[in-house]
Amino acid sequence: MSRLVQAEITDCRERIPGVWVMEFLAPSLAQAAMPGQFLHIRCGEGSDPLLRRPISIHAVDRQTGRVKIMFQVVGKGTSRLAGRKNGLIDIMGPLGHGFTIFTGERAKHGNVDTSSTQNDSAVVMNTPANFIVVGGGIGAAPLYFLLQEMARMGRVRRVKLLLGARRADQLLIFDAAEELGFSIRVATDDGSVGRRGPVTDLLAEELRREAGYVYACGPSPMLRALCARLHDAGVPGEVSLEERMACGVGACLSCVCRVKDAGGLETYRHACVDGPVFPAGEVVW
């Protein structure tokens, strides 16, 4: 269930040039949030900019009620947000359908338990033996929350994390994921760390060794290539799409994306309410 929250900013600092991490105190959000969901945030202290900005949930501490977002400064809204060092911030969320969480008995898609038959996007599935998490650039931000949940469930040894970036100094969540105990492989465009080339090349290698359920977030070209590799390998997975959103609740058409329905027919869905996470095989590129 989404809600409006006035959250207290407790920290805001630049993680790498142009990428910021903000922490705020929001116990209700911390309890309700699931990996892959996002928050619709009023960036300024007034009505400028008018529209909220959709930003994925980066990390959650349910015990302390603290929530973190990681975002890249790309315009007026995110620039204003980066300048907020204290005070209250107006947040709507958590919103959207997140990643499927396998509990061993049933799966949860976003914050929807599959025991409810009213949501046709939630499908009961057996827990996969292995998982592969693939992040590209700022797309690694929401994947850390997913890794937190996997670590809490004792699945560290069953997860391979693949991270991609343009160069070494733009690599995100590596240290934090390593502290959680995950096995990590890295690819950079310039070869400054890890393998030289796209992170999807690392995925191809992993799929040849051992298949696993794949979670991914990153730029559209990366996700397009990733979905093609999953299709060719017959491997299931989910991708979190990066779409522009205005309302965040399905009332406008700014974030519609093309997908295939259960019968294979192409249709359009709102990334804000039907996503931002979709089964990899449903997205039409």
Q: Are residues 170 and 259 in the same domain?
A: no
Confidence check: pLDDT of 160 > 50: yes
Which SS3 state, helix, strand or coil, does residue 203 take?
helix
Residue 278: which pLDDT band, with cuts at 50, 70 and 90? very high
Cβ(94)–Cβ(39) below 8 Å: yes
My answer on whether 174 and 249 are in the same domain is no
Give the span between the Cα atoms of 13 and 9, in whole angstroms: 11
- Identify whether residues 50 and 111 lie together within a single domain: no
Query: Helix 199-209 and helix 220-233: axis angle, to 10°?
Result: 20
Listed residue (139, 108, 123) closest to 239, CA to CA: 139
Same domain, 231 and 160: yes
User: Do 247 and 153 share a structural domain?
Assistant: no
**Same structural domain for residues 144 and 228?**
yes
Mean pLDDT of the residues in the chain: 90
Q: Which of 19-23, 113-117, 246-250 has the lowest mean pLDDT?
A: 113-117
The pLDDT assigned to 246 comes to: 84
Whole-number pLDDT of residue 2: 60
Which amino acid is present at 152?
R
How far apart, in whole angstroms, are the C-alpha atoms of residue 99 and residue 35? 6
Strands (E), the chain: 3-16, 19-25, 38-41, 53-61, 66-72, 88-95, 100-102, 107-109, 112-113, 131-136, 159-165, 183-188, 195-196, 213-217, 237-240, 256-260, 266-270, 277-279
pLDDT of amino acid 78: 95
Residues 205, 249, single domain; the answer is no
204 and 154 share one domain: yes
The domain tally of the chain equals 4
Place of tokens 């939630």: 122
Domain boundary pick from 110, 127, 144: 127
Report the half-sphere exposure of 73 (CA within 13 A, side-chain side): 18
The answer to which of 47-56, 86-95, 100-109, 251-260 has the lowest mean pLDDT is 100-109
The whole domain housing 257 covers: 241-285
pLDDT for position 48: 77
Domain harbouring 135, CATH code: 3.40.50.80
Distance CA 136, CA 104 (A): 28
Indicate if 146 and 217 belong to the same structural domain: yes
Instruction: Indicate if 249 and 275 belong to the same structural domain.
Output: yes
pLDDT band of residue 14 (cuts 50, 70, 90) is: very high
Q: What is the mean pLDDT of residues 265-269?
A: 92
Q: What confidence tens digit (pLDDT) does each residue in 75-122 have?
A: 999 999 999 999 999 999 999 999 999 986 556 555 444 443 333 333
Higher pLDDT, 246 or 8: 8
Q: Are residues 222 and 140 in the same domain?
A: yes
Pick from 125, 120, 123, 119: nearest CA to 103? 125
